[in-house]
Structure 1
Amino acid sequence: MAWLILLFAGIFEVVGVLGMNQIKRKPNVKAYLLFALGGLLSFACLSYAMRSLPMGTAYAIWTGIGTVGGTLTGMFFFGESKEWRRMLFIGIVLAAAVGLKLLS
C-alpha cells in the first residue's frame, strides 16, 4: 500500500509542477490553487508512505516520479524538446527507481 501512496505522491508532485507552469504562463487563482493543492497532497502522501518505506528510497522514488513526470508533461503538452538524450536520461532515472524498488 505504501508504494501505491508513493506513486500518488509523485503524481501530485507533477500536478504541483503544472500549477507552477500555469503561474508562470498566466497567474490566476486557479493556477495558485493547483500549485498549492498539488504540493500539499504530494507531501502528505510522501509523509504517509515514509511510515513504511525507508526515507532515502521513498524520497528518491518521489523525486524520480516528479522529474520524469514533469519532463514528459513538458515534452508532450508544452512543446519542450524530445531529443533522444533527454529520453535516455529519463530511462536512466526510471531504471534507478526500479532498482531501488527491487532492493527495498
Structure 2
Amino acid sequence: MPWIYLLLAGLFEIGFALGLKYSEGFTRLWPSVVTVVFAGISLWLLTQALRTIPVGTGYAVWTGIGALGVALLGIVLFGDSASWPRLACIGLIVAGVVGLKLVSG
C-alpha cells in the first residue's frame, strides 16, 4: 500500500505543478484553489508512504514521478521541446525511479 500512496502522491504532484502554470501566479481563483488542494493531497499521500518507505527513496520517487509527468505534459500541452537529448534525460529519470523501486522492495 505505501507504494500506491507514493504513486498517487506523484500523480497529484503533477497536477500541482501544472496548476501553478494555469493559476498564472495565483491570480486565477479556481486554478489556484485546485493547485493548493492538489498540493495538500500530494503531501498527505507522501507522508503516508514515508511511514514505511525510506525518506530518501520516497522523496526521490515522488519528485521523479512529478518531473516525468510534468516534462511529458509540458511537451503535449505547452509545446515544450521534444528534442532527443531532452527525451533521453527524461528516460534517465524513469530509469532512476524504476531502479529505486527495484532496490527498495
TM-score bracket relative to the smaller structure: over 0.9
Q: How does 1:16-31 map to 2 (within 5 A)?
A: 16-24=16-24, 27-31=27-31
TM-score w.r.t. length of structure 1: 0.95
1:37 aligns with 2:37: yes
Q: How does 1:1-104 map to 2 (within 5 A)?
A: 1-24=1-24, 27-104=27-104
Judge conservation of contact 2:75–2:81 (CA < 8 Å) in 1: yes
**CA–CA separation in structure 2 for the residues paired with 1:88 and 1:41:** 30
Give the 4+ runs in structure 1 shifted more than 6 A: none
**CA–CA separation in structure 2 for the residues paired with 1:96 and 1:26:** 32
Shift of residue 28, structure 1, vs aligned partner: 1.5
> Aligned partner of 2:51: which letter?
R
Judge conservation of contact 2:6–2:46 (CA < 8 Å) in 1: yes
Identity of aligned residues (%): 39
Taking only aligned residues, the RMSD between alpha carbons, in angstroms, comes to 1.3
Tell me the matched-pair count: 104
Structure 1 pair 30–85 and aligned structure 2 pair: CA distance change class (3 A): same
Q: Which runs of 5+ in 1 are unaligned?
A: none
Structure 1 pair 25–59 and aligned structure 2 pair: CA distance change class (3 A): closer
TM-score w.r.t. length of structure 2: 0.94
Shift of residue 27, structure 1, vs aligned partner: 3.2
Q: Which runs of 5+ in 2 are unaligned?
A: none
Judge conservation of contact 2:26–2:32 (CA < 8 Å) in 1: no
Shift of residue 41, structure 1, vs aligned partner: 0.6
Shift of residue 24, structure 1, vs aligned partner: 2.1
> Aligned partner of 1:82: which letter?
A
